[in-house]
Structure formats: C-alpha cells, structure tokens
Amino acid sequence: MAYAWELEKDGREVRVRVEGPLAFNNASMIVRASEDGFGLGFVLEDQVAEQLAARRLVRVLEDWCPPFTGYHLYYPSRRQPSAAFAVVVDALRFRGARLPKRNA
C-alpha cells in the first residue's frame, strides 16, 4: 500500500493516494528518481535543499505543503530508556531542531 500524500491549504486537509510504476521506502531513492525525470517526489525540504538551490528540482504544490511540526515519540516515562533508545531520541531532537518547517 502506498503512502497517501498529506496536503493542506487554508485549513483544508487532503490525502492523495498516488499510484505509479515506482514505489520507494527510502527518501534518497525518491529524490534520485525525481532528478532523473521519473515523476514527482514527496519528501522533507531538507532532503532536497541542495537540488532546490541548484535548480535541479523545483517545488510543486508549494502552497499545499503543510508545515513540519517536528517528530513526536510516545514511550513510557516510568522506565529507564536503553542507551540505544536515548541515542535515537537525541538524534531526532538534533535533526528536528535543524529542519525547515515545511515539506518540499
């Protein structure tokens, strides 16, 4: 099952189920396929900042891209998290602080 693109404009939310001959579970492959002319890709802006700056890719539906509000993790607070989990949380906090606040 393909991921439904989540679009938003003026408070109206729309989910678009996109179908086609290609499907990826890796953002870098989505970006590469888009650069190679295979179609549109739906990724976070920081994942294509270089391509946008170099004009190898352009934004479409920019006014329909909802802001990125950050990562949200839910986990029991009563347990001591493992060292590996603590590293993941720290990495997401660091990455989330650096991300632009919209999709590309």
- pLDDT at position 104: 56
Please write the tens of the pLDDT for every residue from 7-65. Answer: 999 999 999 998 888 999 999 999 999 999 999 999 988 899 999 999 999 999 999 98
Is 61 a domain residue? yes
Is 39 a domain residue? yes
Residue range of the domain that includes 49: 4-98
Is 104 a domain residue? no
The secondary structure of 24-58 as a DSSP string is -S-HHHHHHHHHTTS-----BGGGSHHHHHTTSS-
- pTM exceeds 0.85: no
88 contacts 51 by C-beta, under 8 angstroms: no
User: 91 to each of 39, 66, 72, 96, how far by Cα in Å?
Assistant: 31, 23, 13, 8
Q: Which residue has the tokens 């329909």?
A: 64
Is 27 a domain residue? yes
Q: Work out how many domains the chain is built from and give that number.
A: 1
Hey, what amino acid is at 48? V
- pLDDT at position 40: 93
